[in-house]
Structure 1
Amino acid sequence: MSIDDAEVALRHIEGFRTPGNSEVPTRGVAHYTSRLSVQAYTGTGGIVNAIEVFRPDSSVSVQYEGIDLFSLPASEVIALLRSRTAIEVEERGSSVTAPDLLLALWRPFAADSVSDAQGYYFQSALIAEPGYYD
């Protein structure tokens, strides 16, 4: 779909938050009252080729085939994905890609303790069209 169509679709998701007067809207980005954010990326011809979802601060569940990508510890998400498909773990566990699923997960660093929540949980999930990672 076009970025225009994607923006319309993003505005229709429950909890969409209209940018305030001091905020400069970014093309293809939507924010929600749950603190969830979604960004649509475009490729050739302005057609959306990937969508990235950023971890909310609240209890919104973002799932991929029943795996809660942001509420489960990253190590558990990695193990569940690994049991279903081949994955590539890079940057000491900060970046995880499941090429056959066209799914990528990211966190700024890998942490073993929930006290370092930004490293304990994934902070973003990106799903793309075939060929995106080539």
Structure 2
Amino acid sequence: MAHYSLTPRVKLLAERLLSQNSTISTERAAILETLGGDVAGMPQLVKNAKLFNELVKQLPGYIGPDELIIGSQSSTPRAAVFHSENELRSPSAFTAFGQTSPDYLAVITKGCSPSKPKWKTAPEASAAPSAVLDWTKSTNAAP
């Protein structure tokens, strides 16, 4: 593997980050808790959009000096976000539109096998032309 070194800007950013103490930010949880009743009963995607909109409007943004990527989950650098009770009980943020993202730790440690879809035979395909490929029978088991 090639040897990589930090650029002066990245080295400065790393030193600046590591010189600061970690904190816990409750701003995000407080904003979301105030909206709890207003979004009750809405479809989950609409609820998520409204909550995100409120966060963008109310949460003060943090833009660090020398940063190319701006923004943070809190208004201070190196702050851990405190999640509300509702967020802790809700499904993962990585589950959307019925799709669940993979367990990345398992993928990194065990690897993954490629999906092998099973093609339907011609009579089956003509019976259901919109479902020529049956993805439900694909195998995604790790080796």
**TM-score normalized by the length of structure 1:** 0.21
Query: More helix per residue: 1 or 2?
Result: 2
**Superposition TM-score, scaled by structure 2 size:** 0.20
Q: Relative contact order, CA 8 A, sep 6+: which one is greater?
A: 2
Q: Larger Rg: 1 or 2?
A: 2
Task: Write 1 or 2 for the structure with the bigger share of strand.
Answer: 1
